[in-house]
Chain A
Amino acid sequence: MGLPVRTFDAVIVGGGGSGLRAALELARADLRVAVLSKVFPTRSHTVAAQGGVAAALGNIEDDNWHWHMYDTVKGSDYLGDQDAIEFMCRRANEVVYELEHFGMPFDRLAGGRIYQRPFGGHMREYGKSPVPRACAAADRTGHALLHTLYQANLKANTQFFVEWMALDLVRDPEGTVLGVTALEIETGEVMILQAKATVFATGGAGRIFAASTNAFINTGDGLGMAARAGIPLQDMEFWQFHPTGVAGAGVLITEGVRGEGGYLLNKNGERFMERYAPNAKDLASRDIVSRAMATEIKEGRGAGKDGDCILLKLDHLGEETINRRLPGIREIAKKFANVDPVKDPIPVVPTCHYQMGGIPTNYHGQVVVPKDGNPEAAVPGFFAAGECSCVSVHGANRLGCNSLLDLLVFGKAAGERVIRDLRDDGAGHRALPKDAGERTRARLARLASQKDGERVADVGAELRRVMQLHCGVFRFPDLLQAGVQKLREVAARAARTEIRDKSRTFNTARVEALELDNLVETAVASLVSAEARKESRGSHDRADHPKRDDANWIKHTLWYKEGNRLDYKPVHTRPLTVESFEPKARVY
């Protein structure tokens, strides 16, 4: 079946922070660009980021990018690529100032400069003590950032395809990426969007876990598309559990609460982080705080009537500070936890939040895969940025407010690289292979004709249960192995889901069934990669291998869908211009 084809210079898949930042760059270059988004762009999950974007502006206290770089390398548990980390930290001020120039409503200091607050793992002088580095708009930084970028794109006349879902990557036999197949959700029409450059900015896949801070839309669509097209996924065993999701609801409570002076208590009213991180305390990195909380709960010191949560105290900050700096948190706590944090602590638990792994890229946003002995050969025509990518700047654990920085820096870098590639490329569009839409056609046909299949909701729920139980904060060898087996069954069930809704118009049942395919790829990649990594590093903590093993495991995992096989590649331990930070014990 030949699908209709529309042709562009570049297609950006995803309208969140990284997609919009890349789009803005391309808009300046007079290229024909299409930005696809499954939801109206300001509904993308960037909108939910709260605490801030990291940049060593030094507006309150002395700070510099090299300290930020050190913190990020240390935070990554030495799995981050130091060239990419240097690149990101050096460009942080530039992208934050630009954002301000676009109109971002940052909070301000008395002198008129951007307000900054301390955040977990961000320290002065190579780990000495917390430094205010998170540039914030109250506790709505992601909302302010996403709306600002959308507005800047309106000004630049970016062409949006709103409520279009990309379904599969189109590659030719040489492996060059030629665009995507996509579904216009409102009409049900499917077509090929052909492009010389395809940029994935599809965000994370936190919806593979039952307890998640993530939006419903975070289903790893880019990861699924890449995996099905033969691209490996990198470091998928590393999932960040945010220390403070509202117990029961999963809704995020920003680390900015602790940045502003809030702290965690166990049922005895003890400020237990002093025991786990004597120096940084509640502002240690997220993996460490989450593990400390889970340990407190496991050892019987959890709060709440079932002893299964921890209390986040902030009433001592005073109503005025809470209203000025944390108004959204007060709103969320009242709505989702039935407490007013001006008076009472918020019950919180570690909750799945962020995917450190993703589609392997270099710091230009080019997707890179092993080929002919080169571990990182660029895939022609293919780029990725933001949470769906693995540059890798976050390694085994991301620092708070480095994600907004990541999507700005690498969204922009990907845009710059696309411009350069297209400028140097005088050739026209490459021919689409005959079977360009075949994978998509087969998936849709299977779904349309499936009889006696299972409900998408049931299979999805089982997938999330398996991940939650088998691949959580603490990981155990037997559970990991059993989980791999269980996911095999889930994958088989997902291949025969049935939907009752056969309408062409805005068929969200079909969308959810197609999303499930992507959740499955992501979940399998995560569990298989986790089962194989026999050490504890960053967010990956194994009971049978409780220590970090630098001799054997300073390497990136690559998972291939075909054959469900793993490969590894070296970590870039050499920065661009400065000395390497050598691995050492990670103490906060």
Chain B
Amino acid sequence: MKFSIYRYDPDSGGRPHMQAYDIALEPTDRMLLDALVRIKAHDDTLTFRRSCREGVCGSDAMNINGRNGLACITRIAELKEPVVIRPLPGLPVVRDLIVDMSQFFKQYNSVKPYLVNHEPPPEKERLQSPEEREELNGLYECILCACCTTSCPSFWWNPDKFVGPAGLLQAYRFIADTRDQATGERLDDLEDPYRLFRCHSIMNCVDVCPKGLNPTRAIGKIKELLVKRTV
């Protein structure tokens, strides 16, 4: 099977380039990650992140034939050859398929992605009805792979100012949590021409999310809450 893979090693002094690989796969190689691991067995200089190989850890996000996705749950059989693999767009490349995710995590951290509740915790669990808990579905499952944020043109233009879909999804995850008491502060923080309002509903995020989540909808709900509290 034929691949064309982005290569760059700052240590070598060479320029970034696409390298062609033609590799015989085994019948057990079903996902793109299997193929990459097989290539690496022959050429150990090929560099990429990977861990769980089942789509829950978020390590192996990359741009596959022009589309962001996780290598470990992308079926080889469904890919057009040569398979063109590049690092996630919009973030600095460290080496080969590895990007520097600092900016992505900085934005994630900026939404204070943790529960804020000023009351002393009860002896047992805080109560939450199944319906209230249901509100967190489609939000808490995010694996921080950055497929969405790095497919978003608004993030490409303003990575330092626009929170991006992944961060905003998590912002709403805590706004939507009945146990959280910081909704006001969270909305204040996002009421900003850049942090939230750079989202123009392009919906690339929804299109690429490997977990089938919908950041655009979460962003819409935040906007709704902002409107509600002004009227």
Point out residues on A near B: beta carbons under 8 Å.
39-40, 42-45, 47-48, 57, 93, 96-98, 100-103, 105-114, 137, 140, 143-144, 147, 151-152, 154-155, 186, 215-217, 248-249, 251-252, 328, 331-332, 335-336, 455-458, 499-501, 503-509, 512
Question: Would you give the shortest CB distance from B26 to chain A, in whole angstroms?
Answer: 12
Instruction: Tell me the residues in window 128-152 of chain B with beta carbons closer than 8 Å to chain A beta carbons.
Output: 128-130, 132-133, 136, 140-141, 143-144
* B51 interface residue per 8 A CB criterion: yes
Q: In the complex the two chains form, what is the Cα distance from A378 to B30 in whole Å? A: 48
* B43 interface residue per 8 A CB criterion: yes
Q: In the complex the two chains form, what is the Cα distance from A512 to B75 in whole Å? A: 25
Point out residues on B near A: beta carbons under 8 Å.
9-12, 28, 30, 40-41, 43-45, 47-59, 73, 75, 94-96, 98, 101, 105, 109, 112-115, 117, 121, 123-130, 132-133, 136, 140-141, 143-144, 174, 177, 179-180
CB-CB < 8 A to B10: which residues of A? Answer: 505
CB-CB < 8 A to B9: which residues of A? Answer: 503, 505
In the bound complex, do residue A103 and residue B177 qualify as a contact, i.e. CB atoms below 8 Å apart?
yes
Question: Would you give the shortest CB distance from B146 to chain A, in whole angstroms?
Answer: 10
In the bound complex, do residue A505 and residue B113 qualify as a contact, i.e. CB atoms below 8 Å apart?
no
CB-CB < 8 A to A501: which residues of B? Answer: 44-45, 47
Listed by A's residue number, 22 A-B pairs whose Cβ atoms lie within 8 Å are A39-B51, A40-B101, A44-B57, A47-B56, A48-B54, A48-B56, A96-B125, A101-B126, A103-B177, A106-B125, A152-B114, A155-B114, A251-B53, A335-B75, A336-B54, A457-B44, A501-B47, A503-B95, A506-B47, A506-B96, A507-B47, A512-B44
Chain A: CB-nearest residue to B125: A100
CB-CB < 8 A to A335: which residues of B? Answer: 55, 73, 75
CB-CB < 8 A to A137: which residues of B? Answer: 140
Count: A-B pairs, CB below 8 Å:
157
In the bound complex, do residue A39 and residue B49 qualify as a contact, i.e. CB atoms below 8 Å apart?
yes
CB-CB < 8 A to B51: which residues of A? Answer: 39, 43-45, 215-217
Question: Would you give the shortest CB distance from B152 to chain A, in whole angstroms?
Answer: 20
CB-CB < 8 A to B54: which residues of A? Answer: 48, 251-252, 332, 336
Question: Would you give the shortest CB distance from B51 to chain A, in whole angstroms?
Answer: 5
In the bound complex, do residue B47 and residue A151 qualify as a contact, i.e. CB atoms below 8 Å apart?
no
CB-CB < 8 A to A44: which residues of B? Answer: 51, 57
Question: Would you give the shortest CB distance from B66 to chain A, in whole angstroms?
Answer: 21
Question: Would you give the shortest CB distance from B54 to chain A, in whole angstroms?
Answer: 5
In the bound complex, do residue B44 and residue A43 qualify as a contact, i.e. CB atoms below 8 Å apart?
no
In the bound complex, do residue B125 and residue A500 qualify as a contact, i.e. CB atoms below 8 Å apart?
no
In the bound complex, do residue B130 and residue A108 qualify as a contact, i.e. CB atoms below 8 Å apart?
yes
Question: Would you give the shortest CB distance from A114 to chain B, in whole angstroms?
Answer: 5
Question: Would you give the shortest CB distance from B195 to chain A, in whole angstroms?
Answer: 18
In the bound complex, do residue B121 and residue A42 qualify as a contact, i.e. CB atoms below 8 Å apart?
no
Q: In the complex the two chains form, what is the Cα distance from A381 to B12 in whole Å? A: 41
CB-CB < 8 A to B126: which residues of A? Answer: 100-101
CB-CB < 8 A to A45: which residues of B? Answer: 51-52, 57
In the bound complex, do residue B115 and residue A102 qualify as a contact, i.e. CB atoms below 8 Å apart?
yes
With most chain A CB atoms within 10 A of its CB, the pick from B9, B48, B124 is B124
Contact among B49, B58, B124, B180 with A97 in the assembled complex (CB-CB below 8 Å):
B124
Given A48-B57, A499-B44, residue A108 in contact with residue B133 (CB < 8 A): yes
Q: In the complex the two chains form, what is the Cα distance from A470 to B95 in whole Å? A: 39
Chain B: CB-nearest residue to A507: B47
Q: In the complex the two chains form, what is the Cα distance from A48 to B52 in whole Å? A: 7
Question: Would you give the shortest CB distance from A545 to chain B, in whole angstroms?
Answer: 35
Question: Would you give the shortest CB distance from B32 to chain A, in whole angstroms?
Answer: 12
CB-CB < 8 A to B44: which residues of A? Answer: 455-457, 499-501, 509, 512
In the bound complex, do residue A108 and residue B129 qualify as a contact, i.e. CB atoms below 8 Å apart?
yes
In the bound complex, do residue B114 and residue A505 qualify as a contact, i.e. CB atoms below 8 Å apart?
no
CB-CB < 8 A to A57: which residues of B? Answer: 124
With most chain A CB atoms within 10 A of its CB, the pick from B43, B50, B51, B124 is B51
CB-CB < 8 A to B56: which residues of A? Answer: 47-48, 140, 143, 328
Q: In the complex the two chains form, what is the Cα distance from A45 to B59 in whole Å? A: 11
CB-CB < 8 A to A506: which residues of B? Answer: 47, 94-96, 98
Given A48-B54, A216-B51, A500-B44, residue A110 in contact with residue B113 (CB < 8 A): no
Question: Would you give the shortest CB distance from A327 to chain B, in whole angstroms?
Answer: 9
CB-CB < 8 A to B40: which residues of A? Answer: 457, 508-509
Question: Would you give the shortest CB distance from A162 to chain B, in whole angstroms?
Answer: 9
CB-CB < 8 A to B52: which residues of A? Answer: 43, 45, 47-48, 215-216
CB-CB < 8 A to A512: which residues of B? Answer: 44
Chain A: CB-nearest residue to B121: A101
Contact among A147, A249, A252, A508 with B30 in the assembled complex (CB-CB below 8 Å):
A249
Contact among B57, B94, B121 with A215 in the assembled complex (CB-CB below 8 Å):
B57
Contact among A47, A106, A114, A328 with B57 in the assembled complex (CB-CB below 8 Å):
A47
CB-CB < 8 A to A186: which residues of B? Answer: 94
Chain B: CB-nearest residue to A504: B11
Given A48-B52, A112-B127, A215-B53, residue A143 in contact with residue B41 (CB < 8 A): no
Question: Would you give the shortest CB distance from A220 to chain B, in whole angstroms?
Answer: 15
CB-CB < 8 A to A336: which residues of B? Answer: 30, 54
Q: In the complex the two chains form, what is the Cα distance from A536 to B154 in whole Å? A: 61
Chain A: CB-nearest residue to B173: A105
In the bound complex, do residue B94 and residue A43 qualify as a contact, i.e. CB atoms below 8 Å apart?
no
CB-CB < 8 A to A96: which residues of B? Answer: 125
Contact among A147, A252, A505 with B140 in the assembled complex (CB-CB below 8 Å):
A147
Contact among A108, A143, A456 with B141 in the assembled complex (CB-CB below 8 Å):
A143
Q: In the complex the two chains form, what is the Cα distance from A47 to B58 in whole Å? A: 10
In the bound complex, do residue A107 and residue B11 qualify as a contact, i.e. CB atoms below 8 Å apart?
no
In the bound complex, do residue B12 and residue A503 qualify as a contact, i.e. CB atoms below 8 Å apart?
yes
With most chain A CB atoms within 10 A of its CB, the pick from B44, B136, B140, B180 is B44
CB-CB < 8 A to A252: which residues of B? Answer: 54
CB-CB < 8 A to B123: which residues of A? Answer: 97
